[in-house]
Amino acid sequence: MPHLKKSETVLKTTYRPEQRSCPICRSVLKRDHILWRKYMLFSTGAQVVTSWAYRCPQADCPENARVYRSAAAEKLHLRQRRFSRELVVRLGYRRLWQHDTLDELHAWLTQELQLMICRREVANLLLDFLALLAAAQPARIRTQLSRLPGLLIAIDGMQPEKGNDCLYIVRELQSRVTLLAVNLVDSSEDALCEHIFAPLQSLAQELRLPWQGVVSDAQESIRLAVAQSMPGVPHQACQSHCLRAAGQLTFEADRAMKKQLKAAFRQALPRLRHRIEAIPPTDPFRSVLWDYTTALQSVLPEGGVAPFELGGLRVFEALADLEAAVLRCQKKGITSCYAACSP
């Protein structure tokens, strides 16, 4: 906590309940005791915040024992934390949305805001932000889903290596909200029904929304789990997975062609470099040939992504463009020595 000099003053703020009268007897609430008083750090500076508790003054009122507190004051802080919720949210926004590093956040707090805080405590504040984010997620999800006529979900599992845990993610396709993310050791039908589809069924019953359909990669355990947990619900295979499977033969043929092209040119490149090096340094065409050689070498590592981005076809088209450029130069007499350097 910053050490304040005696001459320095700290803003003091007091909060009382927003409700002024007792809901039963309509008597004006009276101040009873201090709920909490805390030295808090905001992005605008330090404040001493006090939250008062109020009660009904009528001894015969049934609500006499009820304590009323300020909702605005409760939104300011986290329990047993001296940093305000506003500062924690700003810190989390800079980390997750602006992608500031831990050192950049620490510099922002210590240099710009003039707060005395260690680097480790910055990491603890980020954990507080993630806890706030997780706590707010269920309400956000329910608010967005309540506007829909029904639920249409997509489910997919991601496993880095065989034998590792598989991360299953479930998203609602109309609202693009992530409903569930579960890390499972067992990807069997029963495990999926228990840990994924049972919570989803509870959510649909709570919101009173019907199921409109399920989209997946047609994994066998997922298909069986959908049939068991959601009988009668349409289940469609993901179009991306279907197209990838349909184009696999074409992609494999393209990859074989790319491999042959790379092998042929990589064998010729050393001979081409050797012949260019034999050209006198004063020859003006020497640098031009070196540029073409560099362009040729940069084209060969071109990759592809199934099913439509064919790397071999892109390499072939790039080589054709290079050939056309060299032929144009030959016709203009710019690279008359190219024939001697041709691999």
Beta bridge partners of 68: 54
Q: What is the pLDDT of residues 121-133, one digit of tens each?
A: 999 999 999 888 8
Q: What is the pLDDT of residues 153-194, one digit of tens each?
A: 888 888 776 767 888 889 888 888 888 888 888 888 888 988
- Give residue for tokens 């320095």: 8
DSSP 13-58: EEE--S--B-TTT-PBPEEEEEEEEEEEEETTEEEEEEEEEEE---
Cβ neighbours of residue 253 closer than 8 Å, sequence gap 6 or more: none
Helix (H, G, I), strand (E, B) or coil at 158: strand
Cβ neighbours of residue 91 closer than 8 Å, sequence gap 6 or more: 105, 109, 122, 125, 126, 129
pLDDT at 264 (0 to 100) = 77
DSSP 203-256: HHHHHT--EEEEEE---HHHHHHHHHHSTT--EEE-HHHHHHHHTHHHHHHHHH
Give CA separation, 91 vs 97, 98, 309, 341, in Å.
10, 10, 40, 61
Please list the pLDDT of the chain residue by residue as tens digits (343 residues). Answer: 444 443 357 889 999 999 999 988 889 999 999 999 999 889 888 889 999 999 999 888 888 889 999 999 998 988 888 899 999 999 999 999 999 999 999 999 988 888 888 889 999 999 999 888 888 878 888 888 888 888 898 888 887 767 678 888 898 888 888 888 888 888 888 889 888 899 889 888 888 889 888 888 888 888 899 888 888 888 888 777 667 766 677 777 777 877 877 777 777 778 878 888 888 888 777 787 788 778 777 777 777 666 667 777 777 777 788 778 777 877 766 544 444 445 5
Q: Is the separation of the CB atoms in 76 and 84 below 8 Å? A: yes
Which one-letter DSSP state was computed for residue 99?
-
Q: Would you state the structure tokens that stand for residue 109, as one six-digit string?
A: 């707090």
Rounded-to-integer distance, Cα 230 and Cα 174, Å: 19
Rounded-to-integer distance, Cα 116 and Cα 112, Å: 11
Q: Computed from CA positions of residues 179, 184, 190, 195, in that sequence, does the dihedral angle turn out positive or negative?
A: negative
Query: 153 burial class (0-12, 13-18, 19+ CB within 10 angstroms)?
Result: buried
Which residue type, as a one-letter code, is found at position 140? Answer: R
pLDDT at 308 (0 to 100) = 67
Query: 296 burial class (0-12, 13-18, 19+ CB within 10 angstroms)?
Result: buried
Cβ neighbours of residue 99 closer than 8 Å, sequence gap 6 or more: none
Q: Would you state the structure tokens that stand for residue 284, as one six-digit string?
A: 């003006």
Cβ neighbours of residue 310 closer than 8 Å, sequence gap 6 or more: 250, 251, 254, 304
* Category of 68 on φ-ψ map: left (φ > 0), alpha (ψ -120 to 50) or beta: beta
Give ∠ CA 18-22-26 in degrees, rounded to 5. 120
* β-bridge pairing 166-172 and 30-42: unpaired
Which one-letter DSSP state was computed for residue 194?
I
